[in-house]
Amino acid sequence: MTAISPSSEDLKLQIANLLQDDLQAVQQGLLRQFRNRSEFIQDVADHTSRFRGKQIRPILTLLCSRLEGTAFRPESRESARLFGTVVEMIHAATLVHDDVIDDADLRRHVSTVHRRWNTETSVLFGDYLFSQAFYLAATSGDAEACRLIGLATNRTCEGELNQIAARLEQSRSERDYFRIIAGKTGQLFAISCRLGARAAGLSLPLQKQLSIFGLRLGMAFQIADDVLDLTMSSARTGKDSQNDLYNQRLTLPVLRGLRISPPEQQQQLLRGLEFSASHVPLLPSEYPALQAGLASAAASAERMARRAIHCLRQFPDSRERSLLESIAWFAAGRSD
């Protein structure tokens, strides 16, 4: 299998051509859920709506619901749209909370909620989005879907807590790193795919296979994100650069650099990390160990994408399957 990473614009166009009506329905659902009679809450909601990016999670839900053509049944299509709205709301809630944890200034080129207002507003509004998402999920009448959403959200929070533990313990374990990203990022990707499969009425084995696809895709996405955090500016990514280093979190590029490089390069990188904790930018070009770590991490993201795509082999060839494969390659090799 050859890795073909499509351009962002080409992939967007293909998705829009196939899912335009469904994505518009998700957008309308989000607008309804963000609507509030309180002027203050509406102001915060309008600001948070500007954080919306590629909408990869609802796109996964919609594509997975169409893999075997069943989403063209009205009831399957409506369920997929509802679940797509739910996962995007949960994602928005995690972003609002993450920005507090990271003490971040920017999100999608605009001020974070806690910087625009305060931490209290961020925490409570994130909680509000979570509760709204769970309420909306309950209207589906699918108790098992609600249980799965709750389980995925629990595991997402566990991933964040494990990340704090790894920082406090100054862990350099790659096993800890992969456990963290499987929770904090992989679980929401996994439930997005699982809910699409559930909306389509796919068998339990196929639901689980798509869940694994989503988990691996999410992990590839996070590894690529950790590479971008060290190599791209805030102007390019729309959020604070090197935020993990400032918060003393060792991501895979750094862990790999420390593991695979000669001792003298490791020491040089460690000295650089000490400065970075004081908000002094770490320039990868000045640290051979970090450059090696970045290359190794990027290769791991591609391998994880390849493993994700392997999960789709049980499904017939279709535009939907092709797009899911393209999304996996794009997630691993993206540049923004």
pLDDT at site 333: 86
Residue 201 pLDDT class (50, 70, 90 cuts): very high
Q: Which ranges of the chain does DSSP label H, i.e. alpha helix? A: 8-34, 39-48, 56-64, 74-102, 113-116, 119-138, 143-168, 174-181, 187-199, 204-231, 234-237, 243-246, 252-260, 263-276, 288-310, 319-333
pLDDT tops 80 at residue 180: yes
Domain extents for the chain?
A: 8-333
Is residue 102 within 8 A of residue 240, CB to CB? The reply is yes
Average pLDDT over residues 73-101: 92
Residue 2 pLDDT class (50, 70, 90 cuts): very low
CATH number belonging to the domain at 8-333, selected among 3.40.50.2300, 1.10.600.10, 3.30.420.40, 3.40.50.2000: 1.10.600.10
Share of the chain above pLDDT 70, in %: 94
* pLDDT tens per residue, range 97-128: 988 988 888 877 788 998 999 999 999 999 99
pLDDT tops 50 at residue 174: yes
The pLDDT mean for the chain works out to 91
Average pLDDT over residues 62-89: 88
* pLDDT tens per residue, range 225-238: 999 999 987 666 65
| CA nearest neighbour of 64 among 222, 221, 190 | 190
pLDDT tops 80 at residue 6: no
Average pLDDT over residues 55-69: 92
First to last CA, the chain: 25
Residue 1 pLDDT class (50, 70, 90 cuts): very low
